[in-house]
A and B are shown apart, each in its own frame.
Chain A
């Protein structure tokens, strides 16, 4: 972390001004942009997620760090050659059919982005057909579903069924989460993983992708 310590500290604190200045300084000094991304930003967001999962920091602090990273990304993204930003994997995410809650889903989305995943967000009230159709179209590595109501949880197995019928179930890993969702439920409906919060969603997604 040493090379980008000031940047890393600014991202941890959510200090946008300093983080952007440090990113610029690193670029001006000729640092490798992939290193800035991996070591300065992504590794720091991993730390943020970890601290959040442990209850050391809280939602507003996590959001602030994520926002800080996004601002830094604006500087470095244009410098990558086309398609040059290495992605940890493609994630398709959405809140299931019948459910309009997006707060938890958005927290997960933000932390996954921070961890270096490429995210496609389908929003809320996403039908099983929509999940299946988009999966066929963009071929994600992971399909992530959120539900906040016990009445909308059954949309999760229906979505898995739709992926099966579309012939893409075995081409993706499925992860689920949301207040009423449990690990046991994930096993029952044969999802590949359950995550209890935004921090652990990243950890689970990485392990699904075989990244430590």
Chain B
């Protein structure tokens, strides 16, 4: 599993304040904690600043990488912000995200092909949000074809099936899960990824729903998750499911995490 640590996002008040105050030590600490907890990429998102997003996103990239030799997941719907952040980033970042929306696809294609990177391809259609498995797979397929057509290796593409709340339509869970399976069947080698919290919008005890959804999605073939790796229960679910699916040789990762006290029931 590829884990993207989601905690450095300015929609969280504590992060927004740290960015406003240029509190580099705090941001570095949040990044380090997530790296230690098993994140493969550290997500950085400054979207709530609107006018100052680019400046703040660039500051986040430089700040985290100033003390941590670690790849980041550059997170913005704004193609200009992603282009600027990518120029500053050392190593191979993950780009979050490209979609079929006109304003995003056109400007982003040259950005994501300007250097090596992992790309999250969000199944958001040109004019509407996909609902059914078929609609999601259709948008995913278009994105995979566009990207591979530009020379992006398929294993660098992480298709996000677009998670929508189960509270407004109880088919939303199975639609996302079905899309994950169909996409990996139709496009061998491609990765899939998603955030976990949208699924539980509008419901109580969201953590329970989120971590069980993670387990289900993994069994359908999910290969990446945008999540909080410092959430011990969530990481415990992830590592035990990974092991149960036969992806943890000698149960090494699970036992290591136990010995390092990173998991607990």
Contact = CB atoms under 8 A, between A and B. Distances in A.
Interface of A: 55, 58-60, 63, 98, 100-103, 106-107, 124-125, 149-151, 153-154, 179-180
A151 B168 contact: no
Contacts of A149: 47, 77
B97 to A, nearest CB: 12
B31 to A, nearest CB: 22
A60 B202 contact: yes
5 contacts: A58-B203, A59-B167, A60-B167, A150-B47, A150-B77
B103 A98 contact: yes
Given A151-B77, A180-B47, A58 B204 contact: yes
A59 B165 contact: yes
Looking at A60, A101, A107, A179, which has the most chain B CB atoms within 10 Å of its CB? A60
A100 B48 contact: no
A48 to B, nearest CB: 14
Given A98-B103, A150-B48, A180-B48, A103 B128 contact: no
A63 B168 CA distance: 7
Query: Which secondary structure dominates where chain A touches chain B?
Result: loop
A154 B53 CA distance: 13
Nearest to A154: B50
A103 B47 contact: no
Contacts of B127: 100, 125
Given A98-B103, A102-B129, A149-B77, A58 B167 contact: yes
A63 B203 CA distance: 12
Contact of A58 (B124, B164, B202): B202
A130 to B, nearest CB: 14
Given A58-B203, A60-B203, A125-B127, A103 B168 contact: yes
A153 to B, nearest CB: 6
Given A103-B201, A150-B49, A150-B50, 18 more contacts: A58-B203, A59-B168, A59-B203, A60-B170, A60-B202, A63-B168, A98-B103, A100-B101, A100-B124, A100-B127, A100-B129, A102-B129, A103-B168, A107-B168, A151-B47, A151-B50, A153-B50, A179-B11
